[in-house]
Amino acid sequence: MTKPLSHVRVLDLSRVLAGPWAGQILADLGADVIKVERPGVGDDTRAWGPPFLKAREGTEIGAGYFLAANRGKRSITLDLSTPEGQEAVRTIVAQCDVVLENYKVGTLDRFGLGWKHLSALNDRLIYCSITGFGQSGPRAAQPAYDFLIQAMGGLMSVTGGPDGEPGAGPQKVGIPIIDLITGVYAATAVTAALAGREVTGKGEYLDIAMLDVAVNLLSNQAMNSLLSGKVPRRTGNAHPNIQPQKVYACADGDIVLVVGNEGQFAALCEVLGMPQLSADERFRANAGRVQNQSTLQPLLEDAFAARPRAEWLRRLTEAGVPAGAINSVPEALAEPQILHREMVRTYEHPAAGPVQLVMSPFRFGGLATNSERPPPGLGEHTGEVLAEFGIGALEHATTDERSVA
């Protein structure tokens, strides 16, 4: 199958997660993604372990963090603070469609590699800048990390146990969710700009900020606040707008219950042997269930506690009520549905041998769009790529001014 972006070439100047995640999405969609790394050091995430992928002879190739976000790319090493490194980028960009970068605001302009410089060489170039706070505003020059943005963007204020319960307090999400979703938004913006270029014939500058993404992700919680004038509170595993949706303790373990409409609630009541609840005016409609949680929840909790988890899951599934176990990461990766969808795949790494990686969720025409390349070794493709662009061997220094975005 010809992949949707097989005609696109991307120069990926980013590091850590948000930018590389966007680059990996584009690579899975077929783009030729050339990842530029610091000579001798590489992307910071190569060292963010353990665990590390090791070569057959025992040397460390890169941490799991790096492997998660760099499938499908070719790696070259250039020192962008040197004239020869800058000139190499200009030569490559003249034949590229997209640049991804997450330098501090103004850094690439000082190197002569900013939007105004590179778009002058290639007016069809799509230049995507990913930073913590965007290219303008009082915080534009400041560095940012996912944890900080989860806090500043309001996400932590609605995540965690409610006040008064054991362990209450703000919590970050267990994965770097803002980095990852920023990468998804960046890749979406790039594909939109590529589509727009088909009409205008011109490239575009994209300014993607992690804090903007975090606030956008507040979605229903932001609207709850704007409509009511109230401050949304942490509700733990209970949904603030739809009930019953939370974790329930069975006789031998926990399950997640997700009731999304009145028919599912009626089916739940039948399964629990309490059909009268669905006719009760306090609980018949979702708004009433949300307002009367303090009365409804103890009834449900007592019912679930009386029987084993497997029995409840079987009966709920048969009744069409969404419910499931709380899987560990290994259990999630081993879920029969995940195995059927081939979301974990074994690649043959040239230095390490077989390595398992989590795949892209994209499917076109029923076929998955995963790159055939495993994550690259540091500078693995430098000679190959430079030769493609007619660039001779370079002297690589080891200094760089890249910042966290």
Which residues contact residue 16 at a Cβ distance below 8 angstroms, ignoring those fewer than 6 apart? 43, 44, 45, 102, 179, 404, 405
**Are the CB atoms for 10 and 97 separated by under 8 Å?**
yes
Which DSSP helix (H) or strand (E) runs through 299?
A: helix 293-305
Pick the catalytic residue from 179, 212, 254, 280.
179
- CA 13 vs. chain centroid, Å, equals 18
207 labelled catalytic: no
Tell me how far the alpha carbon of residue 21 is from its chain's centroid. Answer: 7
- Name 60's bridge partners: 54
Mapped onto helix, strand or coil, the DSSP state of residue 109 is helix
Residue 19 backbone phi and psi in degrees, to 5 = -65, -50
Side chain identity at residue 172, one-letter code = K
Helix, strand or coil, per DSSP, at residue 7: coil
Parallel, antiparallel, or unpaired: how do β-strands 32-37 and 73-77 relate? Answer: parallel
Is the Cα dihedral 156, 160, 162, 166 positive or negative?
negative
Which residues are catalytically annotated? 179
